[in-house]
Amino acid sequence: MNRSISHLVAICSITLSLAGFSNPATAQELFFDAFEDRVADQKYIGRNWTWFEFTYEGDTCTGEPLTQNGPDGSDKLVENRNYQTASNAVGQGDSYFRAGLEVPAWDGALTNMMRVYGNQFIPATTCEQVLVFQEMPITDPGTFVFSFDNAQDRYGAPANGEIIGAFVKVIKTSDMTFENLFFEQMPVTPPVATTPENVTIVSKYMQFSIPEEWIGELLQFGFYSELSENLGQAWGTSAGMYDNVKLATLDIGPAHSGSFYNELQSGHGFSIEFGYLPDGSPFAIVYWYTFDSLGNPIFLVGTGTPEGNRVEITFDSPVGMVYGDFDPTSVTREDGGTAVFEFSDGDNATFSYTPSNFTMTNWGHTTAIVDLPLTKLFGIPADKFFEVQE
């Protein structure tokens, strides 16, 4: 879902950047926050989490905003406290806050989490949108994944139709027009929970690409809540709980598995499987169904270890087994050459192949293949990303 916002800029002292992508084989973790280093009574959320808020005409947060407000050096920047310290109990009941910490969340049922909700000091007679986010300058293109864990707030949000979710935005700051180059929102609906015993966490992610022409612009990613008191909604029930917030380059995952081919070269193709070895490490198996130089069908089978968005495969060329006489001792596994598969997303990749002396001599594979585009023809639902091995 895309929406237009004229300005969403909070220039602050964040020094993170989208950098370090010269080696596409290595996935880069650009930001991570699990909130475990926090204490309940610290004054601010920490880690440069910032905010912006808008109001819109009517009961939906669409179109051009009526008002917009952000940390522009006013006292609201100072008063954007962690909500747990901005309370009457500690003499700060008139402070602004739009997010806070639960340390630990749900009375210890969950680990530390960040709570994002509506601004309690603005009566939402029109639709009010609050955003709490990270921002960083873009220095390199690529495909990225913004992922996080989400749980229902203890007060039942979204209880009355409030909308909560995640967003990714790119703002054109190079010419100071603050034009929206990209803005994507993803509403989330966490599992219903009424007690600490039944609260559960779900993992969500957003995948997006940054082209070269966006280098120098500003990336923002984080969370939002939308509500209107006209609809009986309230800031107290507009919150979402978030944890393990991560921005990283695209990694290959089990969901990249499937049947791939080039539409203009239908007749040969690949069965690619990504999974785990018994020790839990990521692993890839590729079957290439192809032909020799005389038109006879052959196949190559190879393995490799996924790294970032690519996998290098060492092929074997099995020969010698006779149909109907399946004797493993009759098989010779010759060097089948090497290949590289580089994925732009879960459905598209490029294939490069270097023949071996054996495949050149026996199969007539005398020509290398460079960056052949591949498209997924068929896939199997699976986890998007490999689990992080501790």
Mean pLDDT on 324-340: 92
Mean pLDDT on 2-9: 33
78 and 191 together in one domain: yes
Average pLDDT, the chain: 85
Is 23 a domain residue? no
Which of these three, 249, 275, 310, is where a domain ends? 249
225 and 119 together in one domain: yes
**Six-digit token string for 306:** 């996924």
199 and 263 together in one domain: no
Is 192 a domain residue? yes
pLDDT per position as a tens digit, 75-130: 555 556 777 776 655 445 556 678 889 999 998 999 999 999 887 776 667 899 99
Amino acid, single-letter form, for residue 236: G
Alpha-carbon distances, residue 42 vs 243, 269, 304, 346 (angstroms): 18, 57, 47, 41
Point out the least confidently predicted range of 17-21, 182-186, 241-245, 344-348.
Answer: 17-21
214 and 340 together in one domain: no
Q: The domain spanning residue 308 has which CATH number?
A: 2.40.128
| Residue of 102, 123, 118 lying closest to 38 (CA atoms) | 102
Task: Quickly state the pLDDT bin for 69 (edges 50, 70, 90).
Answer: confident
Mean pLDDT on 197-221: 92
262 and 347 together in one domain: yes
| Residue of 319, 302, 314, 304 lying closest to 361 (CA atoms) | 319
Q: The domain spanning residue 100 has which CATH number?
A: 2.60.120
167 and 297 together in one domain: no
Q: 19 pLDDT exceeds 70?
A: no
Is 338 a domain residue? yes
302 and 336 together in one domain: yes
- pLDDT in the model for residue 73: 59
Is 5 a domain residue? no
Point out the least confidently predicted range of 155-164, 199-208, 264-273, 365-374.
Answer: 155-164
- pLDDT in the model for residue 172: 95
Task: Quickly state the pLDDT bin for 71 (edges 50, 70, 90).
Answer: confident
Alpha-carbon distances, residue 221 vs 7, 31, 104, 282, 366 (angstroms): 14, 10, 24, 28, 48
224 and 102 together in one domain: yes
Is 17 a domain residue? no
Mean pLDDT on 234-258: 88
Domain assignment of residue 351, given as a range: 254-379
pLDDT per position as a tens digit, 121-176: 766 678 999 999 999 999 888 888 899 999 998 887 777 888 999 999 999 999 99
**Six-digit token string for 316:** 């074997």
Which of these three, 214, 249, 284, is where a domain ends? 249
pLDDT per position as a tens digit, 267-321: 999 999 999 999 989 999 999 999 999 999 999 999 999 988 889 999 999 998 8
181 and 325 together in one domain: no
Domain count for the chain: 2
Is 343 a domain residue? yes
Is 216 a domain residue? yes
Distance from C-alpha of 164 to C-alpha of 224, rounded to nearest angstrom: 6
